[in-house]
A and B are shown apart, each in its own frame.
Chain A
Amino acid sequence: MLAIWKREVQNYFYTPIGYAFLGIFLLAGGILFSLTSVLSSMPQANVVSLFDNLSFLFMILVPMLTMRLLSEERRNKTDQLLLTSPLTIRSIVVGKFLAAITMLLAAMLIATFYVVVIAQYTVTSIFSPQGATYGAIITNYVGFFLFCACYIAIGVLISAMTENQVAAAFITSGAILVLQLLELALLPNFANSANPFLSFLFAIFSWLSFYARYSTFTAGMLSLADVLYYISFCGIMLFLAIRIIDRRRWSGGRDAPAGEGAAGAWKAAFASLTGRGGKGGRA
Chain B
Amino acid sequence: MSENCIKLNNINKYFGNKQVLDNVCFEVPFASVYGLLGPSGCGKTTTVKIISGILEATSGETLVLGEKMPSLPLMARIGYMAQSDALYPDLSAKENMEFFGALYGLAGKAFAKRFDDVMALVNLSDDKDKVVGAYSGGMKRRLSLAMAILHQPTVLILDEPTVGLDPRQIIEIRHLIKDLGAEHTVVLSSHILHEVADVCERVVIINNGAIVAQDTLENLTKSISDSFRVRLRVLGPEREAKRVIREVAGVESIEALGSKEPGSADFMVEAAREADIRVPLFRALSRADLPILTMRPLDIELEDIFLQLTADAGEGY
Contacts and interface: CB of A to CB of B under 8 A. Distances in A.
The A interface is mostly helix, strand or loop, or mixed, namely: helix
Interface in B118-154: 147
A163 to B, nearest CB: 13
B85 A83 contact: no
Given A11-B90, A76-B87, A255-B46, A86 B72 contact: yes
B54 interface: yes
Nearest to A81: B86
A277 interface: no
B18 to A, nearest CB: 6
A80 interface: yes
Nearest to B14: A252
Given A249-B55, A255-B46, A87 B103 contact: yes
Interface in A226-262: 249-253, 255-257, 259-260
A85 B103 contact: yes
A77 B86 contact: yes
Interface in A38-93: 76-88
A3 interface: yes
A78 B87 contact: yes
Contacts of A7: 99
A16 to B, nearest CB: 11
B15 A256 contact: yes
Given A77-B85, A257-B16, A84 B52 contact: yes
Interface string B81-94: 01011111111000
Given A257-B15, A260-B15, A88 B86 contact: no
A71 B103 CA distance: 19
A203 B38 CA distance: 62
Contacts of A124: none
A282 interface: yes
A77 B54 contact: no
Contacts of B13: 252
Nearest to B147: A81
Contact of B55 (A2, A87, A252): A252
B53 interface: yes
A256 B104 contact: no
Contacts of B104: 85-86
Q: Give the interface centre of A11, A78, A86 by most chain B CB atoms within 10 Å.
A: A86
Contacts, number: 86
B88 A3 contact: no
A255 B44 CA distance: 12
A255 B90 contact: no
B297 interface: no
Contact of A80 (B78, B80, B95): B80
B78 A84 contact: yes
Given A15-B90, A252-B15, A255-B46, A84 B102 contact: no
Nearest to B89: A76
A31 B147 CA distance: 47
A248 to B, nearest CB: 10
A169 to B, nearest CB: 18
Contact of A86 (B49, B55, B76): B76
Contact of A81 (B90, B100, B102): B100
A183 to B, nearest CB: 37
A11 B96 CA distance: 12
B250 interface: no
B88 A76 contact: yes
B73 interface: yes
B15 A82 contact: no
Nearest to B78: A84
B103 A82 contact: yes
A249 B15 contact: no
B222 to A, nearest CB: 35
Contacts of B100: 81, 85
A257 B317 CA distance: 10
30 contacts: A3-B102, A3-B103, A7-B99, A10-B95, A11-B90, A76-B88, A76-B89, A77-B85, A77-B86, A78-B87, A81-B82, A84-B52, A84-B54, A84-B80, A85-B76, A86-B76, A86-B103, A86-B104, A88-B72, A250-B56, A251-B16, A252-B13, A252-B46, A252-B55, A255-B20, A255-B46, A255-B49, A257-B18, A260-B16, A282-B72
